[in-house]
Amino acid sequence: MNKKIKKMMEKIMAAAFYPLLFTLGALLLLPVSLFSAGDLFVDGTLGVQTTNPLSQFHVVSESTSNFRGMVSSQHSTDKVTAVMAFYKSRGTEDAPTTVVDDDTLGWFNVKGYDGTSYVAPASFGFRVDGPVSTDNVPTAFIVLTGFKQGVTGRLERFRINSVGDVTINNLEGTYTGGSAYVCVDDGGKIFASEVACP
């Protein structure tokens, strides 16, 4: 279909069909609202390709195409890019209050099915790591990996704190604690040593 015709059809659908659909939804007391600006409000959960969403918004795909899941696309004549933003406050949406030290601002989890349940062996995210004040929210970047969720199965491996200090935990090597040299072998592996790197 010609792109101009396709866009015209989309405008017709938006102007005629969608308002009718959401008017019927309102009459049937469905938890969906469409505002004049085109904003969609769902009072509950929203599933795409699923009738059993596990969260407020859940996208399911059995496709193996590269064009699956979720996409954020930016098209403009400047250098700005597509964005995914995580917001965190205490309080409520209408009356937010200040976050505090150790609050998590955003987190990504990955889960794999083990035959019985979904296990979360790895994650990364962003956490407040100091006192918060106006225009100042010190934040660390944290990476955890392992084989299962929990303090024994998924451990913090890497952290960059708010002042730029880098911590790498559980380095292989021959040292008993305290300070050590951080070395890189010919294969690119990072390890710790009590003596100067070989």
- Residue 70: its pLDDT value, please? 87
- Residue 43: its pLDDT value, please? 82
169 or 163: which leads in pLDDT? 163
| Domain segments of the chain as ranges | 1-65
Most confident of 2-6, 128-132, 180-184: 128-132
- Residue 198: its pLDDT value, please? 79
Taking a C-beta distance cutoff of 8 angstroms, is the pair 9, 2 a contact?
Answer: no
What whole-number percentage of the chain has pLDDT above 90? 41
- Give the C-alpha separation, 173 to 183, whole Å: 9
> Is residue 164 left, alpha or beta, with left meaning phi > 0 and alpha meaning psi from -120 to 50?
left
Q: pTM, whole model, 2 decimals? A: 0.71
Question: Pseudo-torsion of CA 86, 87, 93, 98, nearest 10°?
Answer: 160
Q: What letter does residue 17 receive in the DSSP assignment?
A: I
β-strand 118-128 against 154-160: which pairing, if any?
unpaired
Give the Å distances, CA to CA, from 51 to 40, 55, 57, 87, 189.
19, 12, 11, 27, 46
pLDDT tens-digit readout, 19-62:
544 444 444 445 666 565 667 788 888 888 898 888 988 999 99
- Residue 143: its pLDDT value, please? 95
pLDDT tens-digit readout, 170-193:
777 666 667 788 888 888 888 888
pLDDT tens-digit readout, 15-28:
444 554 444 444 44
Q: Using the predicted structure, report yes or no on whether residue 63 has a pLDDT greater than 70.
A: yes
